[in-house]
């Protein structure tokens, strides 16, 4: 009799535990949105005096990623959370893809993002879910072998227009110079913001961003060498980029020295693919901002992310990382895919990024 009772209690305990895990992972954590903060320290020159966060940031940015907006319970909570961020008014808003999964949700996306304000500019890049409405079968098959295209494309032209109505510029392998130059101690620091398409679906084109732009702009001819060393030679002989091993060498300190003392290059992309980041580093990127990973989506205490969801090590699945030539920031994002609507020990986030410059 005692054995039967133990078995019954064990089964009941296991059922309660399973129910709690389900509630936490599928119901609670997916809607437990938070506003995080990241502080990035950058020096104009190697001999500049290091900064501390007690001083005013050089600029601030609100980073939003992986909304996966849908008409469901979490979608309603997400809309409310995003609208609550309208009071922040940072210098920039950066949105790194997977905003919405279906054409019919473009309208509610516009309504959600329109209230957000930025003093200088709002920029976005697209992810695979912005381009395609995946079927359940395609999602399952994609877990075994990554696909480059899917059967149901979204109307990204309409999505670009909807975002434009919200004051958001979509960068599709494009780079812009910020119209209002930022100054540090009376010295003009030009900010360049590049948006690189999703490498997972082979839309990334760094040549279009960093080489063809200058080849087609005669007025830039005199500054090519200064802005991107050996650019003309690279265009002619396609010299190989630095290896990922070289690019991902950790920095000695948690600070970054600008690759050009008069310019800061910020690169936005959805998927933090290792090869793409290596190319961005080769082209002078100072700060790379990405999403896609959902922070691994499932994390274990003391271990971290189980998977990264792309070609980058799991230890870089989310967070702020300083390397020899650039800084990488990857957000855990806010949403989940509709075929994997769970998170575990991986709280969804929007992030205020404070960039300090010495």
Kindly report whether the global pTM for this prediction surpasses the value 0.85. yes
**Angle subtended at Cα 149 by Cα 147 and Cα 152, rounded to the nearest 5 degrees:** 125
Average pLDDT over residues 181-196: 85
Average pLDDT over residues 267-275: 97
Is residue 343 one of the residues assigned to a domain? Answer: yes
CA separation for the pair 65, 34 (Å, rounded): 13
Tell how strand 299-300 and strand 304-305 pair up.
antiparallel
Average pLDDT over residues 180-184: 71
Residue 4 confidence (pLDDT): 87
Residue 224 confidence (pLDDT): 41
Residue 131 burial (CB < 10 Å; 0-12/13-18/19+)? buried
Answer whether residue 188 shows pLDDT above 90. no
Share of the chain above pLDDT 70, in %: 90
Average pLDDT over residues 208-220: 62
In sequence order, what are the residues at sequence separation of 6 or more whose Cβ sits closer than 8 angstroms to the Cβ of residue 174? 194, 195, 208, 209
Tell how strand 263-269 and strand 187-196 pair up.
parallel
Is residue 276 one of the residues assigned to a domain? Answer: yes
Residue 214 confidence (pLDDT): 53
327 vs 179 pLDDT, higher one: 327
Is residue 8 one of the residues assigned to a domain? Answer: no
188 vs 113 pLDDT, higher one: 113
Give the chain's domain count: 1
Average pLDDT over residues 69-95: 95
Average pLDDT over residues 276-286: 96
Is residue 152 one of the residues assigned to a domain? Answer: yes
Residue 187 confidence (pLDDT): 81
Average pLDDT over residues 95-120: 96
Is residue 44 one of the residues assigned to a domain? Answer: yes
Residue 10 burial (CB < 10 Å; 0-12/13-18/19+)? exposed
Note whether 189 and 182 are within 8 A (CB): yes
Nearest to 331 by CA among 295, 303, 307, 302: 295
Q: What range defines the domain where residue 219 resides?
A: 32-357
What's the CATH number where 314 sits?
3.60.21
Per-residue pLDDT reduced to its tens digit, 215-259: 545 444 444 444 444 444 444 444 445 688 889 999 999 999 999
Is residue 12 one of the residues assigned to a domain? Answer: no
Is residue 286 one of the residues assigned to a domain? Answer: yes
Residue 255 confidence (pLDDT): 95
Nearest to 331 by CA among 272, 275, 283, 291: 291
Share of the chain above pLDDT 90, in %: 73
347 vs 12 pLDDT, higher one: 347
Is residue 19 one of the residues assigned to a domain? Answer: no
Average pLDDT over residues 195-217: 84
In sequence order, what are the residues at sequence separation of 6 or more whose Cβ sits closer than 8 angstroms to the Cβ of residue 114? 165, 166, 167
Average pLDDT over residues 187-194: 92
């Amino acid at each position: 009799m005692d054995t039967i009772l133990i078995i019954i209690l064990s089964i009941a305990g296991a059922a309660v535990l399973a129910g709690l895990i389900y509630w936490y992972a599928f119901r609670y954590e997916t809607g437990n949105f938070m506003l995080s903060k990241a502080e990035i320290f950058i020096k104009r020159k190697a001999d500049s005096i290091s900064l501390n966060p007690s001083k005013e940031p050089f600029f601030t940015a609100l980073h939003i990623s992986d909304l996966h907006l849908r008409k469901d319970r979490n979608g309603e909570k997400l809309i409310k959370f995003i609208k609550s961020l309208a009071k922040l008014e940072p210098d920039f808003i950066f949105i790194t893809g997977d905003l919405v999964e279906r054409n019919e949700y473009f309208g509610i996306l516009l309504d959600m993002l329109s209230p957000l304000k930025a003093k200088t500019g709002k920029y976005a890049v697209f992810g695979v879910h912005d381009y395609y409405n995946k079927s359940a079968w395609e999602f399952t098959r994609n877990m075994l072998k990554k696909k480059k295209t899917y059967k149901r494309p979204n109307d990204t032209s309409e999505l670009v227009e909807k975002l434009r109505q919200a004051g958001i510029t979509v960068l599709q392998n494009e780079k812009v110079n910020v119209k209002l130059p930022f100054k540090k101690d009376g010295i003009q620091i030009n900010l360049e913001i590049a948006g690189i398409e999703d490498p997972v679906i082979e839309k990334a084109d760094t040549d279009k961003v960093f080489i063809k732009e200058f080849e087609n702009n005669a007025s830039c001819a005199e500054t090519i060498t200064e802005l991107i060393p050996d650019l003309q030679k690279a265009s002619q002989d396609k010299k190989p980029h630095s290896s990922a091993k070289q690019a991902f060498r950790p920095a000695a300190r948690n600070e970054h020295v600008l690759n050009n003392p008069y310019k800061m290059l910020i690169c936005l992309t959805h998927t933090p693919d290792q090869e793409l980041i290596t190319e961005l580093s080769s082209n002078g990127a100072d700060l790379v901002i990405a999403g896609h990973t959902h922070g691994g989506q499932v994390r274990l205490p003391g271990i971290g992310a189980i998977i990264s969801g792309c070609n980058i090590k799991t230890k870089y699945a989310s967070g702020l990382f300083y390397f020899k030539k650039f800084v990488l920031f990857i957000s855990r994002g806010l949403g989940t895919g509709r075929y994997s609507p769970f998170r575990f020990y991986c709280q969804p986030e929007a992030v205020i990024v404070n960039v300090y410059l010495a």
